[in-house]
Amino acid sequence: MKLIGIPVSPFVRKVILVLEEHGIDFENDPSVSPLSVPEGYREKYHPLGKIPALEDGDFCLADSSAIIAYINDKFPEKEIFSKDIQTKAKSLWIEEYCDTKVAGELTGVIFFQRIVRGKIMKQEYDEGLVNNAIENSAPPIFDYLSSVLGDQQYLLGDTYSTADMALLSQLVALSYGGFHIDSMQWPKLAAYVDNLKSLPSVQRVLSAEQEILAEFV
């Protein structure tokens, strides 16, 4: 199985976190990024020209969430999603929240401005947009995620799940953009993230992407 897309993309990283946690062999093609979409990529893999995409033999698939659903069905013994239908549904909701709200209002602003525009494209970027995201967008998002976490170890209880992976992936991108959850304001959420980063599969994923990251940052 080949996962296509540069691994510093939060959507690519989310899939890699799943594959790594569940010990599923894959190959990553990091040559495709939003700034480098090869000819024919849209036609073969992703009509929107986004990453990630998956190639599994003759089968090609776009979109991180669709890819995770496919991997879940291809490797039922890995139990990527909970067998409990309500836990699974909640996991899908949190993943969607992270992919849209967190990605759109935080990562898509802070990581995009400071890293993509500032470092990768070497363009002037808008620190005003970044500050607005930090001051106005972040608090309700982290209040909500704190309410989901409560006193649990992970977002869905005592099992590390795709919901945690989806959030962690956005938070890693945000940390590259110099933004971290304020441990005074959201102490449980900050401690939870520190714990996630110490998981062996997460450490493997993060150390593997450092080389690519170093080219930009």
Ligand X SMILES: N[C@@H](CCC(=O)N[C@@H](CS)C(=O)NCC(=O)O)C(=O)O
**Which positions lie near ligand X, rule CB under 6 A?**
9-11, 34, 49-52, 63-65, 99
Burial status of residue 179 (CB atoms within 10 A of its CB: 0-12, 13-18, 19 or more): buried
CB of 59 or CB of 187, closer to ligand X: 59
Residue 184 CB, shortest distance to ligand X, in Å, is 30
Neighbours of 65 (CB within 10 A): 16
| Residue 175 token pair | 């940390």
Rounded to whole angstroms, the Cα distance separating 164 from 127 reads: 28
CB of 118 or CB of 186, closer to ligand X: 118
Rounded to whole angstroms, the Cα distance separating 43 from 94 reads: 30
Residue 175 CB, shortest distance to ligand X, in Å, is 15
CA distances from 22 to 7, 18, 26 (A): 18, 6, 11
CB of 109 or CB of 186, closer to ligand X: 109
CB of 30 or CB of 52, closer to ligand X: 52
Residue 153 CB, shortest distance to ligand X, in Å, is 26
Q: What angle do CA 173, 69, 111 make, to 5 degrees?
A: 10
Residue 173 CB, shortest distance to ligand X, in Å, is 8
- For the chain, the farthest-separated pair of C-alpha atoms sits apart, in whole angstroms, at 50
CB of 47 or CB of 139, closer to ligand X: 47
- Residue 93 three-state SS: helix
Q: CA nearest 66: which of 51, 44, 86?
A: 51
CB of 15 or CB of 189, closer to ligand X: 15
Residue closest to ligand X, measured at CB: 50
Query: Which stretch of DSSP H or E encloses residue 54?
Result: strand 53-56
